[in-house]
Structure 1
Amino acid sequence: MGNEVDYKKFTWVIKDFSSLQSTKIYSDEFVADGCKWRLLALPKGNDVEYLSLYLDVAGTEFLPDGWRRYVDYRFTLVNHLSEAHTVHKKGWRWFDKNTRFCGFRDMVPVSSLIAINGGFLLNGEITIIAEVGVLEVIDTLSASQVEEISTDRSEQRAHDDSSSSEDLQNKDDVTIEVNGFQVLVSQVDVVKTLFEKHPDLAQGFSLKNQHIKNAYMNALLDLIKTLCKAAKDLSVKDLKKADDTLSDLIKVGWNLEWLRMKLDQALEKQVEYDTRIRELEKQVKKRKLALEEIETDLEKEKAAASASLMSLD
């Protein structure tokens, strides 16, 4: 079993959402693993017609130089009519003085939020649930202290972790070590294949904290899963998000230039594909308009012919 992360759950009810005039609102502060956080919402969106929602580090002015927080966060926008329409999104990120908030510009369309029968509004209120798991806390720039903190926390969590026969009953929760990473049983074959084809895959990745290592491996597997989708199921936006994830992985030491090449090729092809689709759609639209004009002319000719025959009678 891998180490467990203690997720802090925080519920934020925004009242009178439809009548809000503010472009930016903050929730109350809450504490997760000794760190202060708050939610930031942009009801009118961040240059998009969506509710934008972010996790924000609170009280940064009181944090020491070199502070960093590695966080796994999950947002839920509750739909009171149907659980199937409840929106769930998750992400992971290093927070520091240059990245003090992170989240999603496109949580849900504003039109869906304020729709009378949309299910998100209940008595004029929307309900947001945030789950925040702090995987690593660094409050110093000293490399030796950073490594010591990471090792101590990893060992302490491993010592506190307990497993039972009940834990092992759910196969989806069982993890196996592959090249120093704790991966789910369903991921073992994929991870082994990755290391067989690319032995230096994580050669430059030196972090020792097991939570962070697992998070990065899951990010890589999600990235590969995305790139394995059919072209029709991918958009340029999807590939650009994948590009951001890939850049993050390479920055922390993963050897993924082979994947960078494939992603660049996929992005180039997708741009060409999207451009061609738009051109064809424009042509279809023009031809439909031309056909409508011809049909209009045909109806006029029929009317004129009918009027001529009537005059002969």
Structure 2
Amino acid sequence: MEDQGEVETTITSKYTWTIKNFSKLKCDTLYSETFFAGKHPWRICIHPEGNKVNCLPIYLTVGDNANFPAGWSKTANIKMSLINQLYSDDTITHVAVRTYEHNSTGVVAAYGFPSFVSLPEFRDPSEGFLVKDTCIIVAEVSVENSGHEDTNVDHLPKKMYSSTCDELINFKGLCQIEKDHVNLLEEACLKHPSIIESHRKRKRSQKFTEWSITTLGKVLHFLKTKKVKDMNDDACKELQDLWEELEMVKFDDLSC
């Protein structure tokens, strides 16, 4: 029988990003959490303050491009929607086909729509895009997935925290973490130095390190602030999810 070779299949992923307290964002660039289409990680990127033509830009970027091998490329069919929360028929949708490439400078480009919607229209609550200071962006990404590609990306969980503009602190030169978690992490690392040592020895991506340290901070913060009387079904589920993510990191002193 003639060898048919590897048959590529089209993988489509739909990701919804809800951004709350939009008017309080004080940053030039904001990224969503990482989501996957097939084996490929992606993130939505926006510029909350707009651009030179007074519009809200919305882009799709490859997640954590530092670990993609030279010569890597992937063509994606992109469908981005800004949801109209008052008039569903007025939801704005743009589509494109773009090829992302790891070029000679090691940069995987971000593609999207620099003039998705005018800022005055977007910021007017009566228009339906920013309601109760919340907006909703939906990305649909379709890629050809051959089943044998290896992007050499750390296996991050799909339910990973979002990058926000909250005050962040550089933690021991490893990553940026939330200010509320610093003291708890400092205390934990003082008792268990291998937490930091193991991360410095392992060749992990910046995104993986940021996620793992942040997850540890969230667990410590949860245990510090929650009391027995607070442990309802939702709280137990939250702790279970956080602990399962923490186990994926395999901290040397996790059981201590």
1:133 matches 2:133: no
* Secondary structure of 1:10's aligned partner: strand
Residues in 2 aligned to 1:78 and 1:5: alpha-carbon distance in whole angstroms = 25
Displacement of 1:28 = 0.3
- Match for residue 26 of structure 2 among 6, 21, 26: 21
2:128 aligns to what? 119
Kindly indicate whether the alpha-carbon contact (under 8 Å) linking 2:39 and 2:145 is maintained by their aligned counterparts in 1: no
Displacement of 1:135 = 2.5
1:104 matches 2:113: yes
TM-score, normalised with respect to structure 1: 0.41
Kindly indicate whether the alpha-carbon contact (under 8 Å) linking 2:81 and 2:137 is maintained by their aligned counterparts in 1: yes
Kindly indicate whether the alpha-carbon contact (under 8 Å) linking 1:67 and 1:139 is maintained by their aligned counterparts in 2: no
Residues in 1 aligned to 2:96 and 2:53: alpha-carbon distance in whole angstroms = 20
Q: Which structure carries more helix by proportion?
A: 1
* Secondary structure of 1:80's aligned partner: coil
Spell out, residue by residue over 1:30-73, the C-alpha distance to the aligned partner (whole angstroms, 9 max, x if none).
11110111111011223221110100011211111111011001
Q: After the TM superposition, which segments of 4 or more aligned residues of structure 1 sit over 4 Å from their partners? A: 136-140
Kindly indicate whether the alpha-carbon contact (under 8 Å) linking 1:69 and 1:134 is maintained by their aligned counterparts in 2: yes
- Match for residue 76 of structure 1 among 51, 73, 81: 81
Moved more, 15-24 or 125-134: 15-24
1:93 matches 2:98: yes
1:30 matches 2:35: yes
Kindly indicate whether the alpha-carbon contact (under 8 Å) linking 1:15 and 1:126 is maintained by their aligned counterparts in 2: yes
**Larger C-alpha radius of gyration, 1 or 2?**
1
Residues in 2 aligned to 1:21 and 1:48: alpha-carbon distance in whole angstroms = 19
Q: Which structure carries more strand by proportion?
A: 2
Residues in 2 aligned to 1:4 and 1:65: alpha-carbon distance in whole angstroms = 24
Displacement of 1:84 = 2.2
Residues in 2 aligned to 1:23 and 1:42: alpha-carbon distance in whole angstroms = 5
1:215-234 equivalence runs, <5 A: none
1:62 aligns to what? 67
The residue type paired with residue 114 of structure 1 is R
The residue type paired with residue 113 of structure 1 is F
Residues in 2 aligned to 1:46 and 1:94: alpha-carbon distance in whole angstroms = 24
* Secondary structure of 2:89's aligned partner: helix
Kindly indicate whether the alpha-carbon contact (under 8 Å) linking 1:69 and 1:136 is maintained by their aligned counterparts in 2: no
* Secondary structure of 2:23's aligned partner: helix
Pair 1:21–1:112, CA change in 2 (3 A): same
The residue type paired with residue 26 of structure 1 is Y
The residue type paired with residue 30 of structure 2 is I
Name structure 2 gaps, 5 residues minimum.
1-7, 151-256
* Secondary structure of 1:134's aligned partner: strand
The residue type paired with residue 108 of structure 1 is V
Percent identical:
30
Name structure 1 gaps, 5 residues minimum.
141-313
Moved more, 125-134 or 40-49: 40-49
Higher relative contact order (CA 8 A, sep 6+): 2
* Secondary structure of 2:140's aligned partner: strand
The residue type paired with residue 16 of structure 1 is N
Pair 1:135–1:46, CA change in 2 (3 A): farther
Kindly indicate whether the alpha-carbon contact (under 8 Å) linking 2:17 and 2:136 is maintained by their aligned counterparts in 1: yes
Kindly indicate whether the alpha-carbon contact (under 8 Å) linking 1:71 and 1:136 is maintained by their aligned counterparts in 2: no
Pair 1:136–1:93, CA change in 2 (3 A): farther
Displacement of 1:85 = 1.3
* Secondary structure of 1:112's aligned partner: helix
Spell out, residue by residue over 1:176-201, the C-alpha distance to the aligned partner (whole angstroms, 9 max, x if none).
xxxxxxxxxxxxxxxxxxxxxxxxxx
* Secondary structure of 1:117's aligned partner: helix
Displacement of 1:18 = 2.2
1:39 aligns to what? 44
The residue type paired with residue 88 of structure 1 is T
